Amino acid sequence: MGNKGSQLLRAGFATGAVIDALAIWPMVIPVLGKILWGIADQSGAYRFAMGYGASLMLGWTGLLIWAYRRPVERRAIAALTILVIGGFVATEIVSVLSGWMVLWRMIPTWILQGILITLFGIGYYYSDTSIY
């Protein structure tokens, strides 16, 4: 099953890297954030927070590319990524419940996050740990 786990991890790392790279654009180009998430805020505080977030997203994209190269050896990145996605989901739920974000805009994001969590979780669980 180690080979299957390795394939799932590799798929998760590749998919996550692509999604993260795409997520940077609406963070640094406010009009794209408005189209995707419906966020009309263009304040300095918004741009500051999005700049920080985009920098972290870029760094995580690089980390996922690095993990892709040796998925089993770097499988701990999958577990850490699940924690990050969990934080995103919690923030998104609070945003929807608070009325800051419209539910229908989050559904596609939650689907993508569910796919990633599944790939990372199953891949992590079934990856060959004999190298440790």
Q: 87 is in which domain, residue-wise?
A: 2-126
For 29-71, give the DSSP string.
SHHHHHHHH------HHHHHHHHHHHHHHHHHHHHHHHHHHST
Mean pLDDT, rounded, for 99-123? 95
pLDDT at 49: 93
Q: Taking the alpha carbons of 101, 102, 107, 108 in that order, is the dihedral positive or negative?
A: negative
Q: Taking the alpha carbons of 87, 41, 106, 75 in that order, is the dihedral positive or negative?
A: negative
Of 124, 128, 130, 132, the closest CA to residue 11 belongs to: 124
pLDDT at 129: 61
Count of structural domains, the chain: 1
Higher-pLDDT residue of 51 and 130 is 51
* Residue at 86 is within a domain: yes
* Residue at 25 is within a domain: yes
* Residue at 92 is within a domain: yes
* Residue at 121 is within a domain: yes
* Residue at 105 is within a domain: yes
Share the mean pLDDT of the chain. Answer: 92
* Residue at 58 is within a domain: yes
pLDDT tens-digit readout, 33-76: 999 998 888 899 999 999 999 999 999 999 999 999 999 999 99
pLDDT at 132: 45
* Residue at 53 is within a domain: yes
* Residue at 131 is within a domain: no
Region for residue 39 given its phi and psi (left: phi exceeds 0; alpha: psi -120 to 50; beta: otherwise): beta
